[in-house]
């Protein structure tokens, strides 16, 4: 258990509204990631963070922004939600900054977002 | 351009038999590979990994084989159990080049193990 929680777990919103998803970790890991999972596409990286206030884009970042003002929280914001952003969103961390020499990422339970 | 490919969307096997899940990659800069398992309504969970300096890594019923020349890896599950029924994702990482430990995932293969 990597101590990752996501909130909300489910959300239905209307097109054009802003939405913020939260990822919270309890173990002070430096690297955090946001993915979306869609049928036929697997897991695709949206944005990632390599420290407080340090973020960068992934492969599908259009329409999304992120913020990380504290080590433990990584927020994903859909500026103006569209139906194409209906998806399951996963947060992940890697403990590369610890004693581990491995490269695994550990995932949260996911947020199912529906944009109507 | 899909750099990690899982060409079989689904696989069905009988309980007790071997399950073989395949993954191909195109980027020669990848030199660390991982397999994840995902049950419905849960996050992916790490299963097993392999570095490019090895050609095999084993953990209990799970073995990953890497063929660098063919840019191909496979996950063997022996013996398969009904609880192994899940979506399996292959992932790859570039160890060099400052990639911030990003992973590139395949599209996944749905494994169904029939009792």
pLDDT tens digits, B33-85: 999 999 999 999 999 999 999 999 999 999 999 999 999 999 999 999 999 99
Tally the domains of chain A: 1
Would the CB atoms of A103 and B32 count as touching at under 8 Å? yes
Please give the Cα distance from A32 to B45 (Å, whole number): 16
Taking only the tens place, the pLDDT of each residue in A28-71 is 888 999 999 998 899 999 999 988 999 999 999 999 999 999 99
Would the CB atoms of A106 and B46 count as touching at under 8 Å? yes
Instruction: For residue A20, give the CATH number of its domain.
Output: 2.60.40.10
Taking only the tens place, the pLDDT of each residue in B12-22 is 999 999 999 99
Would the CB atoms of B100 and A108 count as touching at under 8 Å? no
Question: How distant is the alpha carbon of residue B77 from its chain centre?
Answer: 11
Q: How many Å lie between the alpha carbon of B23 and the closest alpha carbon of chain A?
A: 13
- Chain A segment 2-21 residues within 8 A of B by beta carbon are 4
**For residue A42, what are the domain limits?**
4-115
Q: Which residues of A touch B91 (CB under 8 A)?
A: 43
pLDDT at B101: 77
Question: Does A57 contact B at CB distance below 8 Å?
Answer: no
Please give the Cα distance from A52 to B28 (Å, whole number): 32
Contact residues for B90 (Cβ-Cβ < 8 A; gap 6+) = B4, B6, B21, B23, B33, B34, B35, B73, B75, B105, B106
A43, A46, A49, best to mutate vs chain B, most B CBs in 10 Å:
A43
CA of B32: which chain A residue's CA is closest? A103
Residue A109 CB-density burial (10 A; 0-12 exposed, 13-18 middle, 19+ buried): middle
Question: Does A56 contact B at CB distance below 8 Å?
Answer: yes
Tokens of B55: 């050609």
Q: Of B52, B18, B22, B29, which is closest to residue B102 (Cα–Cα)?
A: B29
Tokens of A61: 């970042």
Residue A101 has pLDDT above 90, yes or no: no
Buried b (16+ CB within 10 A) or exposed e, A65-82: bbbbeeebebbbebeebe
Question: Does A42 contact B at CB distance below 8 Å?
Answer: yes
Please give the mean pLDDT across all residues of chain A: 92
Would the CB atoms of B34 and A48 count as touching at under 8 Å? no
Would the CB atoms of A43 and B105 count as touching at under 8 Å? yes
Spell out the domains of chain B, with CATH numbers in brackets.
Answer: 4-114 (2.60.40.10)
């Amino acid at each position: 258990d990597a101590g990752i929680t996501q909130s909300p777990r489910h959300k239905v919103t209307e097109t054009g509204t802003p939405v913020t998803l939260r990822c919270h970790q309890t173990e002070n890991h430096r690297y955090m990631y946001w993915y979306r999972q869609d049928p036929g596409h697997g897991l695709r990286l949206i944005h990632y963070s390599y420290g407080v206030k340090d973020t960068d884009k992934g492969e599908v970042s259009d329409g999304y922004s992120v913020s990380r003002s504290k080590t433990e929280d990584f927020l994903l914001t859909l500026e103006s939600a569209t139906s194409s952003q209906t998806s399951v969103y996963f947060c992940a961390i890697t403990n590369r900054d610890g004693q581990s020499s491995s490269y695994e990422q550990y995932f949260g339970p996911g947020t199912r977002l529906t944009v109507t | 351009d899909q750099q990690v490919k899982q060409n079989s969307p689904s696989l069905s096997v009988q309980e007790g038999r071997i399950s073989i899940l395949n993954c191909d990659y195109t980027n020669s800069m990848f030199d660390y590979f991982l397999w994840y398992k995902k049950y419905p309504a849960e996050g992916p969970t790490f299963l097993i990994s392999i570095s490019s300096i090895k050609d095999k890594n084993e953990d209990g019923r799970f073995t990953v084989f890497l063929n660098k020349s063919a840019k191909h890896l496979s996950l063997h599950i022996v013996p398969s159990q009904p609880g192994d029924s899940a979506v399996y994702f292959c992932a790859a990482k570039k160890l060099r080049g400052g990639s911030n430990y990003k992973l590139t995932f395949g599209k996944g293969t749905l494994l169904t193990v029939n009792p």
